[in-house]
Structure 1
Amino acid sequence: MKTSRKVTFFSGAFSSNNMRTTLVKREEKPFRFYMAWLSDSSFGNLVDEAWGQHSNWINAVILLWKALVSPNKWNEFFSLNFQDWIQDNLTKEWGELNDIKWNTIFGMACWLIWKQRNSCVFSDIQDTAVSLLPKVKAYADLVSNSETPFRSPASKESIEIKWCPPDEDWIKFNSDGSCASNWMSNCGGVLRDHYGNWISGYSKKLGKGDVLHAEAWGAVLGLHISKEKGFKNVHLEVDSLILVKLITKGGPDSQPLNPLISKINSIKVNFSNFKVAHVYREANRLAHVMATHGYSLPYGISVFNRIPDFCNLIFFDDSRGVFFPRGACS
Structure 2
Amino acid sequence: MSDGRFTVKTAYSLLVENCSLRQNMASFYDRFWRVTAPERVRTFIWLVCNQAIMTNAKRYRRHLGDTSIFPVCKCGEETILQVLRDCPSILGIRNRIVPPRRIHDFFNGSLLGWVYGNLASEENAAECAWSTIFAMGIWWAWKWRCSNVFGEIGKCRGRVKFVNEVATKLSRAYVSTREGRVTGGRVERMIAWKPPSEGWIKLNTDGASHGNPGVATAGGVF
User: What percentage of aligned pairs have identical amino acids?
Assistant: 22
Partner of 2:66: 28
The alpha carbon displacement at 1:124 in A equals 5.4
Q: How many angstroms apart in 1 are the aligned matches of 2:51 and 2:179? A: 30
Tell me whether 1:69 sits opposite 2:59 in the alignment.
no
How many residue pairs get aligned? The number is 141
Structure 1's 73 and 91: CA in aligned 2 closer, same or farther, altered over 3 A? same
**C-alpha offsets along residues 249-279 of structure 1, whole Å, 9 cap, x if unaligned?**
xxxxxxxxxxxxxxxxxxxxxxxxxxxxxxx
Identify the structure with the greater strand proportion.
1
Write out aligned runs for 1:169-184 (5 A). none
Residue pair 1:10, 1:111 contacting (<8 A) in 2 also: yes
Partner of 1:134: 161
Structure 1's 33 and 95: CA in aligned 2 closer, same or farther, altered over 3 A? farther
Q: How many angstroms apart in 1 are the aligned matches of 2:118 and 2:152? A: 30
TM-score, normalization by structure 2: 0.52
Q: How many angstroms apart in 1 are the aligned matches of 2:109 and 2:123? A: 14
Of 58, 78, 88, which residue of structure 1 is paired with 2:107? 78
Write out aligned runs for 1:286-305 (5 A). none
Partner of 2:46: 12
Structure 1's 127 and 35: CA in aligned 2 closer, same or farther, altered over 3 A? farther
**C-alpha offsets along residues 108-149 of structure 1, whole Å, 9 cap, x if unaligned?**
000001000000001152778x84212211110111011456
Of 159, 165, 171, which residue of structure 2 is paired with 1:144? 171
SS of residue paired to 1:85: helix
Q: How many angstroms apart in 2 are the aligned matches of 1:38 and 1:21? A: 11
Structure 2: which amino acid aligns with 1:13?
Answer: L
Tell me whether 1:88 sits opposite 2:117 in the alignment.
yes
The alpha carbon displacement at 1:156 in A equals 4.0
**C-alpha offsets along residues 1-33 of structure 1, whole Å, 9 cap, x if unaligned?**
011122111111112222235557xx7314656
Residue pair 2:133, 2:167 contacting (<8 A) in 1 also: yes
Q: How many angstroms apart in 2 are the aligned matches of 1:113 and 1:66? A: 14
Residue pair 2:119, 2:134 contacting (<8 A) in 1 also: yes
SS of residue paired to 2:128: coil
Structure 1's 94 and 67: CA in aligned 2 closer, same or farther, altered over 3 A? farther
**C-alpha offsets along residues 280-322 of structure 1, whole Å, 9 cap, x if unaligned?**
xxxxxxxxxxxxxxxxxxxxxxxxxxxxxxxxxxxxxxxxxxx
Partner of 2:149: 121
Structure 2: which amino acid aligns with 1:37?
Answer: V
Write out aligned runs for 1:275-294 (5 A). none
The alpha carbon displacement at 1:38 in A equals 1.7
Write out aligned runs for 1:1-330 (5 A). 1-22=35-56, 28-30=66-68, 34-40=80-86, 58-93=87-122, 96-97=125-126, 99-123=127-151, 125=153, 131-147=158-174, 156-157=184-185
The alpha carbon displacement at 1:87 in A equals 0.8
Structure 1: which amino acid aligns with 2:129?
Answer: K
Q: How many angstroms apart in 1 are the aligned matches of 2:122 and 2:180? A: 29
Q: How many angstroms apart in 2 are the aligned matches of 1:33 and 1:112? A: 16
Give me the CA root mean square deviation: 3.5
Q: How many angstroms apart in 1 are the aligned matches of 2:122 and 2:139? A: 19
The alpha carbon displacement at 1:68 in A equals 1.1
SS of residue paired to 1:123: coil
Q: How many angstroms apart in 1 are the aligned matches of 2:179 and 2:47? A: 25
Higher relative contact order (CA 8 A, sep 6+): 1
Structure 2: any 5+ residue segments left out of the alignment?
1-34, 70-77, 187-210, 213-222
Q: How many angstroms apart in 1 are the aligned matches of 2:102 and 2:85? A: 14
